[in-house]
Amino acid sequence: MLQVNKLFMSLVGVSILCACGTPARKINSGGTELITTVGQVDIQDFNEAATKLVQSMTTSGVFAEYSSKNKAVLGISRIINDTTDQFDTDLLVKKIRIALLNSGKVEVSTTVGLGGKAEDPMAKSAKEMEEFKNGKGTEMPAMPKFTLTCKILEVRASAGNTKQSSFVFQMSLTDITTGNSKWEGEQSVTKQGSKPAIGF
């Protein structure tokens, strides 16, 4: 009986400890302990969409003819977030840019942007100064070979207490020489549940 009481007390003690709120801790951003929500795009959803879109782009062989000595220049065009969730689209696009840069076959222009706006205005000014200094100020500036556009859509549904959200990531790569798309990809992330949870 005494042993049962001891076991009971130790179990109560452990349970009380477990019942306390979760203390703050660092977790791996690419790990398996991330919070999964239903109504918004989570960090792991961006990872998954970017990974699969880059895989699709790479498998298509669109950059097969390019190499580290002859890189394709990519310009980032219109990126539209058409969901109800407000987030910075760079959470997706930056991952794709990094993956393409790391392939060694692509360079991303930071001085040519949508509507003439450079992503890096200082680099643009410095480039113009350099061209002026070298007597190339009147020449046509080098333009990207490809442009990337993206649209993120959302479809919601519910049944009773269970909610479902689908986030659809659509991406196109256009060859500016022809004006036609060379690759298009779509990746969906669908989540279902009634409340957020930790883990996938």
Partner 1 sequence: MKLIRSLILCNIFPIMVACNTVNSVVPVPNGRPGSPGFQQVVTNGWLNYKANVTDVHEDIVNGDQKRVQVSVFSNQSSAQSFSYRFEWLTTGGMHVDSIGDSWQTQRIMPQETIILNSIAPNSTASTWRLQLSDTNLPLSQ
Name the residues that contact partner 1, by CB under 8 A.
8, 11-12, 14-15, 18, 29-33, 44, 47-48, 50-51, 54-55, 58-59, 61-67, 95, 98-99, 102-105, 197-200
In the block, tokens 């239903």 appear at 38
Of 30 and 179, nearer to partner 1 (C-beta) is 30
**At 193, phi and psi to the nearest 5?**
160, 180
Query: Residue 59 belongs to what H/E stretch?
Result: helix 43-59
CB-based contacts of 108, cutoff 8 Å, min separation 6? 73, 74, 75, 76, 97, 100, 101
**At 127, phi and psi to the nearest 5?**
-65, -40
Please, what is the minimum distance in Å from the beta carbon of residue 117 to partner 1?
Answer: 27
Query: Could you tell me the two tokens for 16?
Result: 């009380």
Of 113 and 193, nearer to partner 1 (C-beta) is 193
Of 99 and 153, nearer to partner 1 (C-beta) is 99
Query: Could you tell me the two tokens for 76?
Result: 């980032």
Please, what is the minimum distance in Å from the beta carbon of residue 163 to partner 1?
Answer: 15
Please, what is the minimum distance in Å from the beta carbon of residue 88 to partner 1?
Answer: 17
Of 51 and 131, nearer to partner 1 (C-beta) is 51
Of 22 and 138, nearer to partner 1 (C-beta) is 22
Please, what is the minimum distance in Å from the beta carbon of residue 120 to partner 1?
Answer: 23
Please, what is the minimum distance in Å from the beta carbon of residue 79 to partner 1?
Answer: 17
Query: Could you tell me the two tokens for 199?
Result: 């883990």
Residue type, 82: D
Query: Could you tell me the two tokens for 63?
Result: 């950059």
Please, what is the minimum distance in Å from the beta carbon of residue 192 to partner 1?
Answer: 11
Of 47 and 166, nearer to partner 1 (C-beta) is 47
In the block, tokens 């989540």 appear at 191
Give yes or no for a contact between 166 and 154, defined as CB atoms under 8 angstroms apart: yes
Residue type, 200: F
